[in-house]
Structure 1
Amino acid sequence: MKLFIVAALFVVAAVAAPVNPDADAQILRFDNENIGVGPYGFAFETSNGIAQNEQGELKNAGTENEAMEVRGQYSYRGDDNVVYTVTYIANENGFQADGAHIPKAQ
Structure 2
Amino acid sequence: MIKIAVLALAAVAYAQEQRPIAILRQAHPDIHPEGHYSHSFETENGIYQQEQGSASVRGETGNVVASQGSYQYTAPDGQVIQVQYTADQNGFQAQGDHLPKAHPIPEAIARALEYIRTHPQPVEEQRRF
Normalising by the residue count of structure 2, what TM-score does the alignment of the two structures yield?
Answer: 0.59
Query: Which position in structure 2 is the counterpart of 1:74?
Result: 71
Deviations 1:1-60 (A, max 9, x none): xxxxxxxx7xx927x8259xx862111111021246520000000111101000010234
**Which residues of structure 1 form unaligned runs of 5+?**
1-8
Query: Which position in structure 1 is the counterpart of 2:22?
Result: 26
Larger gyration radius, structure 1 or structure 2: 2
Could you tell me how far apart the structure 1 residues matched to 2:73 and 2:19 are?
A: 15
Query: Which position in structure 1 is the counterpart of 2:83?
Result: 86
Question: Which SS does the other structure have where 1:17 is aligned?
Answer: helix
CA RMSD of aligned residues (A): 3.1
Q: How high is the sequence identity, in percent, across the aligned residues?
A: 38
Tell me the number of residue pairs that the alignment of Structure 1 and Structure 2 aligns: 93
Q: Which amino acid in 2 is paired with 1:27? A: I
**Which residues of structure 2 form unaligned runs of 5+?**
104-129
In the TM superposition, residue 81 of structure 1 has moved relative to its aligned partner by 1.3
The structure with higher relative contact order (CA 8 Å, sep 6+) is: 1
Measured at CA, do residues 87 and 13 of structure 1 come closer, stay the same or move farther in structure 2, by a change above 3 Å? Answer: same
In the TM superposition, residue 82 of structure 1 has moved relative to its aligned partner by 1.6
Deviations 1:66-89 (A, max 9, x none): 432110000001111121100000
Query: Which position in structure 2 is the counterpart of 1:97?
Result: 94
What are the within-5 Å matches in structure 2 for residues 5-24 of structure 1? 13=9, 17=13, 24=20
Query: Which position in structure 2 is the counterpart of 1:50?
Result: 47
